[in-house]
Amino acid sequence: MSIDRPTGLSAGFHAHLQHAGVRGLRHAGDQHAPTSWVIGTHTHDAWELYLQLAGPPTTWTVADRTCEVPSRGLLAVPPDVPHAMAASSTAPYHFLFAALVPADLVPAEDLHPVWRQRRPFAVPDAGSMVAPFELFLREVTTYQPLRAAGLAHSAALLVTEATRLAQGGRPGRRLALHPAVATAARLIEDRLADGLTVAGLAARVHLSPAHLAELFHAETGETPGRYRTRLRMERARLLLAETDVPVTTLAADLGYSSSQHFATAFRRETGTTPSRYRRSATGRLAR
């Protein structure tokens, strides 16, 4: 396995996984691209999953069709199908990607026909892919015990969630939580950078803000705002420890108005600054 840092990116990497010890993996990456970064026509011998995390919608040509991928949108391209960005982005954008062979990663009896039909598909709201992608990329970028098993299991989880979205599904509600609280929690998780207000969440679950806030605290022990902050800090720790994404970029991706605002919140939560945390973290990006 090897990791490249392509020139021209604002930050990010491209990991080659053919020799990572897990059948069915080809490559993966996490990249912050400037407007000048345009992905040209190319193909792969495996499915490629492209998840746009931030930035304006990007327009793609996939074989003979054109599709738009918004922030939190997923594009899945079958093997040997030409695909490319149709035009440059109007602003910097951030995306995750992985090329893999689903048939090698999940049992044959669980392989959904979507992977056999070899038709591209796009999902405009694929926020539930963020956590599986981050788990998979954590296994890609760190050396730790049972690494091959971690890669295999996290890649299978990535295929599982993409399959559910391809079928038009959404994550089911958590059985231990009130349905409105489960929905509100999922909305916060899927759109962590959006800063959804209690009023906005309440409107989505058809409750008054006061009632939702009371229910949320009773069910989770946290306010919606505290829940969002905790998840942001968990993601910040992961990204600081295991990637070289600049703090200013990381802050914007997590929904903070400035790096100073993020640094203040991070220090309040952890007792240290983002830079010091990154220097002291033991998990480092694989070289």
Q: Provide CATH 2.60.120.10 ranges for the chain.
A: 2-166
Q: How far is CA 156 from CA 63, 152, 220, in A?
A: 27, 6, 29
The predicted pLDDT at position 286 comes to 38
pLDDT for residue 284: 43
Taking CA atoms, 265 is separated from 85, 183, 231, 250, in Å, by 36, 26, 12, 13
CA 214 to chain centre: 30
Question: What confidence score (pLDDT) does residue 172 get?
Answer: 54
- pTM (2 decimals)? 0.75
Q: What is the mean pLDDT of residues 4-20?
A: 89
* Average pLDDT for 196-205: 92
Q: Residue 169 has what pLDDT?
A: 59
Summarised one tens digit per residue, pLDDT across range 48-90 is 999 998 889 999 999 889 999 998 899 999 999 999 999 999 9
Indicate whether 283 pLDDT > 60. no
Distances (CA, A) of 129 to 11, 51, 69, 213, 272: 21, 8, 14, 27, 30
Question: Cα–chain-centroid distance for residue 182?
Answer: 20
Query: In this model, does residue 43 exceed pLDDT 90?
Result: yes
CB 11 within 8 A of CB 249: yes
Q: Does 287 score more than 50 pLDDT?
A: no
pLDDT mean across residues, the chain: 89
pLDDT tens profile 205-250? 999 999 999 999 888 888 999 999 998 998 888 888 877 788 998 8
Quote the pLDDT of residue 74: 95
**Of the options 1.10.10, 1.10.287, 2.60.40, 3.40.50, the CATH number for the domain spanning 179-221:** 1.10.10
pLDDT the model gives residue 282: 53
Please identify, in words, the CATH class of the domain defined by 226-280. mainly alpha
Q: Encode pLDDT of 88-104 as tens digits.
A: 999 999 999 999 999 99
264, pLDDT greater than 70: yes
More confident of the two residues 250 and 283: 250
Please tell me the CATH code under which domain 2-166 is placed. Answer: 2.60.120.10
Q: What is the pLDDT of residue 285?
A: 40
Q: What is the pLDDT of residue 175?
A: 54
Least confident of 23-27, 109-113, 160-164: 109-113
How far from 57 is each of 54, 78, 128, 245, CA to CA, in Å? 9, 21, 18, 21
Predicted pLDDT of residue 47: 97
Q: Does pLDDT of 159 surpass 70? A: yes
Which residue do the tokens 């056999």 mark?
116
The pLDDT of 14-34, averaged and rounded, is: 93
